Structure 1
Amino acid sequence: MFRFTQSSIADFIDLLFPILCLGCKNSLSANERVLCTACRISLPETGQHMEPYDQNHLNKFAGKVPIQFLASYLYFTKAGVVQNLIHSFKYKGQKEAAKELANWYGHQLKSECKQLEDIDVIVGVPLHKSRFQQRGYNQADWIAEGLAEALDVPMRTDLLIRNEFKESQTRKNRLERWENVKTVFAVLNSELVCNKNIVIADDVLTTGATIEACAIELLKAGCKSVRVLTLATAHR
């Protein structure tokens, strides 16, 4: 009786159901994950971790909340590869892609950035429980997990909660976004936050209103410092 080897079965399944690059939609080879080599090489990296005090980004929080460090991995442009990636894990269930990208970024940060050497914990921007149930996961937690693995620090989901459900931020301006989120977050246990250097992780940095609201609650609870890492930001 003819028997497939395990690798032959895997090759046969890949032939019938090829895993596609989330950038260009071409088939991935056996050693590629999320993106093909060509798409990964062409990713629009910001390099912001090499210039952590870039005022164009920190000015989003100037006079509002002290953010000690802020960096995003990629530049986001409409209809570009990065938008495809964000949409794939935010709306199409590809949560593992969020973790993989964050892991790539985390390894880069570990070797090239000294601003994160003393961090104690990474938290993802939380979803309200009803949105979590609807989506089935929180993409920010998967980003936080990917970063935490690469940076070799803990990631926690029990420090910060979103206690109110609010409508989408997508079409709101900076003031509207702030009004929409300024009271929705809360720290669950201040003892776990007190005197800690905390990184807030999220998918895209836009106006910064959501990050600001999270940071305010963490600092009120006695957090020592807040730093921010996102996978993408608008190209300035």
Structure 2
Amino acid sequence: MGLASSVLIGVVTITTWATTWSDWYSYRTVERYGDDPDRLAEADLFSGSLGIISALALFAAAAVFIVWLWRVRWNAEMFCRGEHRFTRGWVMGSWICPVVNLWYPKQVVDDIVAASDPRTPPQTESLRDLPGTRLVWAWWLTWVVGLVSGNIVQRGVLGGANTVGDLRTNVILSTISALATSAAAVLAVQLIARIDDLQANRPWVPWWAVDQYQPPAR
């Protein structure tokens, strides 16, 4: 599932840049051929088609990623008794609940990483006090930048922009979103590999079956 998630995340990155290209194409078309209805209709067709493809790719990647995240969360609960900040249902719910989706998913992943790390004793009682990792921080910050800038383009006040000035702002934000999303995608692939590696290197013994634990040397 980790490999499938990584591949689909790569596909999403490609479709994101394709959508950004269509935004620039629409902007250039309005700028140069604002009075040509055929040119404008062609630009709208490109934009709409690529938008649908991008949405489908994002949905597929999100579904597979959440399934992978659910599985590694289950593994993490077996490795360590430490209390996660959220129940398992939030593995999915944290992504779809408005407002809290700006930080809940990061905390879900933080706890999974902490519980999966072989250096974390199985009898650790709470995970919230363990320090986060720079990889998770970098992944989440770039994702939020891409998410916010993308939402402004797609659903904000600029979503219906039709003047040259508004479209210019639209494509700049679209480019920022694509850059941030690409960075987040690279970091997400690294994060998936990191969590899979941590869990593969941790002894497959449930925390309740471990009497004494000697963490590996750093």
TM over 0.5: no
- Larger RCO, structure (CA 8 Å, separation 6 or more): 2
Larger proportion of strand: 1
Name the TM tier (shorter chain): under 0.3
Larger radius of gyration: 2
Larger proportion of helix: 2
Q: Structure 2-normalised TM-score?
A: 0.26
